[in-house]
Amino acid sequence: MSSMEPNTPQDPDSPDKSAPTPETNGNGTKWITAALCCLIAIPILAEWLPSEIAMWKQAAARNHWNSADRVSAMELNTEALNWDDSNPTILSERAEWQAELGKYDLAISIYENLLEGMAESEQTIAWRMQLCNHYNSLAIREQREATQTWQQWELIDRWYQQFDREHSLPTVARANLYNNRAYLLAVGNTHLPEALESINFSLDLFGGEIYCLYNDPLFLVQFAHQAFREKNYAEAQKHLNSTVDQLERRYALLLATTPSSTWKAFEKKELAHRTGNLSLVFGNVLLFRAHCLELLQIQDQSNETLKGIAVSDLERAQILGASVESFSPDIFSSELLLSANVQSLIPMALDTRGYIYHQLGYHHLALQDLEVAVEASEYQLKQIEKVFEQEKHRIADPALVTSQQQSRYKNLAVILYHRSLAYDATHQVAKAKRDRDRIESLGYTPSPLLH
């Protein structure tokens, strides 16, 4: 018979072996925490990691593209899309690269797929403008009108009209919008009357064609008005003297422009309108100077020379059609022309209108715009290159500077190409060739696809 151990009571101070110890409890908590972390982290990683890898791949692709290694760039871009096939940044960059390779149909397809079913926003509007570029290039290659560009702009116009978005834009941004609209329609050779109306509105936002075609002297008027407002009449007179000298030459050249038999009726009418406008503006500048001279003479009554110039200015101003009674220096109070953005946009806007005039067959008017656009662009390019040369030891990112220079070179090349077309149309073959040679020196090929 087996004996049984007595059933003795448990010591209350001894540990209960059946209950979890603190060590066992801690390990369990750690396992539970780890499991919860996995449950949370794995879905996040599954969502986040492919997108990050895709962007790394695309960054590498961009480096290869910028180094002109197109094959490796496209391979890496494809790998990036394998990781994240709906990333809009990667897709839009691929579209632009396909367009640079001349595969406009593929670029168009990418943008159309991106836009499908998307709510309109600033991003989709930017994509639509890029899409217009590629519609235009494909239409040029196929020698047809790019009607799809007009359809895109109907959508863009509708979006800007909603909630009064257009009128809430700053003046420069609004002018740029209308310039883009006109330019893309012009390149697509579609709805040219609407394009001309659009670019004229853009130029009007800066004060009209007078302030754009003759912006050098009228730029000086802004400095004169600033000095006048500060009651520094001597400084104002100095700027107005330069303004009058430049306007004198411009006005004389305009008066000397004699329309030949090749000028169309619309061109003759526009030339007369332009001459009348410049005459009035010139007269008002003379009135402004006469007013400054009168104020200076009050300060120095012994200076009879000032009085004589003021009287002469008043007489000439009245001959030019300016009104002494209604004149106020505040008509020159706008400082818009002093903006660097405006100074950059004006030659582009004149290029747009010049190209539209050329497309419509008004080649003489086209040249008036395009010659100013080329002159202004060449001057700006020289100034920027001078600054880059002086500051090159301080430049942290030379690649960015190179990119900015290339953008300037291309803008100038486009304007030169448009002017060469107008020179050809007016039988100025030597000048057209000179422009094409300059385009090649900038690193581009004169071609309708240069836009």
Cβ partners under 8 Å of residue 366, min gap 6: 354, 355, 357, 358, 418, 422, 425
Q: Are residues 310 and 242 in the same domain?
A: yes
- Measured distance CA(311)–CA(280) in Å, rounded: 18
Tokens linked to 373: 């656009």
Residue type, 125: I
Specify the pLDDT at position 337. 79
The CATH number that applies at residue 158 is: 1.25.40.10
Q: Are residues 287 and 369 in the same domain?
A: no
**Is 10 inside any structural domain?**
no
Residue pair 138/449 in contact by the 8 Å Cβ criterion: no
With H, G, I as helix, E, B as strand and everything else as coil, classify residue 302. Answer: coil
CB 447: neighbour CB atoms within 10 A? 10
Residue with tokens 């030379």: 398
Q: Are residues 113 and 202 in the same domain?
A: yes
Domain boundary among 209, 224, 254: 209
Q: Are residues 327 and 349 in the same domain?
A: no
Q: Are residues 185 and 120 in the same domain?
A: yes
**Is 6 inside any structural domain?**
no
Q: Are residues 228 and 313 in the same domain?
A: yes
Residue pair 324/388 in contact by the 8 Å Cβ criterion: no
Contacts 24+ apart (CB under 8 A), 135-138: 135/108, 135/188, 136/184, 136/187, 136/188, 136/451, 137/99, 137/104, 137/449, 137/451, 138/104, 138/105, 138/108
Residue pair 297/307 in contact by the 8 Å Cβ criterion: yes
**Rounded to the nearest 5°, which phi and psi values hold at 290?**
-60, -40
**Is 323 inside any structural domain?**
yes
**Rounded to the nearest 5°, which phi and psi values hold at 71?**
-65, -50
Residue pair 138/148 in contact by the 8 Å Cβ criterion: no
pLDDT per residue as tens digits for the range 125-140: 999 999 999 999 999 9
Tokens linked to 12: 């209350």
Domain boundary among 187, 209, 231: 209
Q: Are residues 153 and 100 in the same domain?
A: yes
Instruction: Give the total number of structural domains in the chain.
Output: 3
Q: Are residues 404 and 282 in the same domain?
A: no
**Is 37 inside any structural domain?**
no
Q: Are residues 274 and 165 in the same domain?
A: no
**Is 8 inside any structural domain?**
no
**Is 288 inside any structural domain?**
yes
Domain boundary among 302, 333, 364: 333
**Is 268 inside any structural domain?**
yes
- Measured distance CA(126)–CA(133) in Å, rounded: 11
Specify the pLDDT at position 255. 94
Q: Are residues 329 and 346 in the same domain?
A: no
Q: Are residues 52 and 198 in the same domain?
A: yes
**Is 360 inside any structural domain?**
yes
Residue type, 82: N
Residue-by-residue DSSP string for 75-88? HHHHHHHHH-TT-H
Residue with tokens 């030597």: 430
Q: Are residues 262 and 398 in the same domain?
A: no
Residues in the chain predicted with pLDDT less than 50, given as ranges, are 1-8, 41, 44-46
Terminal CA-CA length for the chain: 110
- Measured distance CA(250)–CA(91) in Å, rounded: 50
Domain encompassing residue 391: 340-441
